[in-house]
Structure 1
Amino acid sequence: MYPQSAQSALMRFARAETGFTVIDVYPGDGHWTGLFSDVVGPDGRVCSFVPAEVAHLDNDPVGRSRALAKKPGRENVLAVSADLMALPRSAPTADVVWLHLFYHDLHTALLQARGATPADFNRGVHGWLRRGGFYVIVDHAAAAGTGTRSAGSLHRIDPAVVREEVEAAGFVLDAESSLLANHGDPHPSKVFHPSIKGRTDRFAYRFVKP
């Protein structure tokens, strides 16, 4: 995980506040869900959303999400698992939707197995968010101009494609951060390769719903 200073900076970048509702899409080990839970406090809510398309994975994402929600002090965490496009029926209207190292997966056969597409998902996020809400995406960068070709093989995506797709759904780019940039990253490498694992070139975008 990131150094404490980087984590704090990313939380500020996400613009979550006390009393907010945050949707953490595909929360992994729940690290970010826990951080958002602390920020929004007892009057807020964090929806830890595991798409059903990935619920079967060996790391048991649904079990982890439910276990976190049962921990003392995490009463504001709601564990949800449903088809990717079923989230609006499973969670309250949100102030922040957070995707950490997940957006590229929208371009893989696994996430599209039940008919979802990146365009569908982005329009769905637009519907889930309140007006003025934030859609925050952090992901592994692919080389400029490569589009989505390495989404499945290298787990990377061209940042320009992400911006184009999200803006097409009606969002406006509010801010971007180079906090996680690594210009020494050989972009043709898979993100799990020992030479670059944990140090990939990453981008962060914050979009707003007008």
Structure 2
Amino acid sequence: MRTSALFVFALSLAAAPIFAQTASPAGQSIADAVNDPARVADKADDARRKVADVMAFAEVKPGQKVLELIPGKGYFTRVFSAVVGPEGHVFLVWPDEYAKEDTEGVGATRTLIADAHYKNVSVLNQPAAQLSVPEKVDLVFTAQNYHDYPDAFMGKVDLAAFNKQVFAALKPGGLFVIVDHVAAAGSGMRDTDTLHRIDPAIVKKQVEAAGFVFDGESNVLRNPDDKHDLKVFDKSIRGHTDQFIYRFRKPKA
């Protein structure tokens, strides 16, 4: 009986942080955003892409300003828009070079911002090497695109300069969250243009060099069955690649 009682007590303690997180105002805002009827077409991907977990890790909150780099068809954009609400704003960056390659994504963005439901979303078109924002933001977010910036089609952006531009775009205490496909350990940037992957270690090194402080990682998108040797578009792994999520914080002072 004593063992059973201790077991039940331990379970209650383990469950408490989860309940506290989901019951928090920010957690409720994320839950409401994920369940927004306007994104019904995205729901089939939610379990695979762990959108609620990603949003919680990014610490996005109502009223914040978010800068999303290369938003694709707006999967994360729709959730960001709902979480930050009418007092917040979501800026979408389409680098000119990338926009030429993803006309479908650009078209989807145009459709999205034309919808009054997303009136707190706007688009910034600018050269890849000249990241800028009209006002300081609370969060800079990029999913599966950090590895693209140094590639030839983007003009071989200097990532040292790019990360400093991200740093400058953030408010003190602001976050830079990167989601990307994992490359083999020790490979650096060798596979960015071939397999569309990047070594997490080099990302951490590059971002910290710009003045950021590493603030944590999430393993919700990790896949130990991915051997890191296939292009991310290979049908045997597409949509299920091993992905890291890193969070970096700009110091408050």
Same-fold status (TM-score > 0.5) = yes
Tell me the equivalent position of 2:148: 105
Greater radius of gyration (CA) = 2
Tell me the equivalent position of 2:205: 164
Tell me the equivalent position of 2:138: 95
Distance 2:217 2:122 in 1: 29
Q: Structure 1 residues 135-144 or 71-80, which shifts more?
A: 71-80
Distance 1:91 1:131 in 2: 16
Q: CA deviation at 1:160?
A: 0.1
Structure 2: which 5+ residue stretches go unaligned? 1-44
| 1:191–1:197 contact (8 Å) kept in structure 2 | yes
TM-score between both structures, scaled by the size of structure 2:
0.78
Q: Structure 1 residues 8-17 or 56-65, which shifts more?
A: 56-65
Q: CA deviation at 1:63?
A: 2.8
In the TM superposition, what are the counterparts of 1:28-39 in structure 2 within 5 Å? 28-39=72-83
| 1:52–1:84 contact (8 Å) kept in structure 2 | yes
- 105, 129, 132: which is aligned to 1:61? 105
Q: Structure 1 residues 76-85 or 12-21, which shifts more?
A: 76-85
Cα RMSD of the aligned pairs, angstroms, is 1.4
Distance 2:102 2:222 in 1: 30
Structure 1 runs of 4+ aligned residues shifted over 4 Å read: none
Tell me the equivalent position of 1:18: 62
Distance 1:4 1:143 in 2: 22
**Percent identity between the two aligned chains:** 43
SS in 2 for 1:24: strand
Distance 2:60 2:46 in 1: 19
Distance 1:5 1:152 in 2: 23
Structure with more contact order per residue of length (Cα contacts < 8 Å, sep ≥ 6): 1
- 146, 154, 160: which is aligned to 2:195? 154
Structure 1 residues 59-103: Cα deviation after superposition (integer angstroms, max 9, x where no partner): 333332222111121110011211123332x43211000010001
Structure 1: which 5+ residue stretches go unaligned? none
Structure 1 residues 155-201: Cα deviation after superposition (integer angstroms, max 9, x where no partner): 00000000000000000011101111111102111111111111101
In the TM superposition, what are the counterparts of 1:169-180 in structure 2 within 5 Å? 169-180=210-221
Distance 1:168 1:67, change over 3 A: same
* Larger helix percent: 2
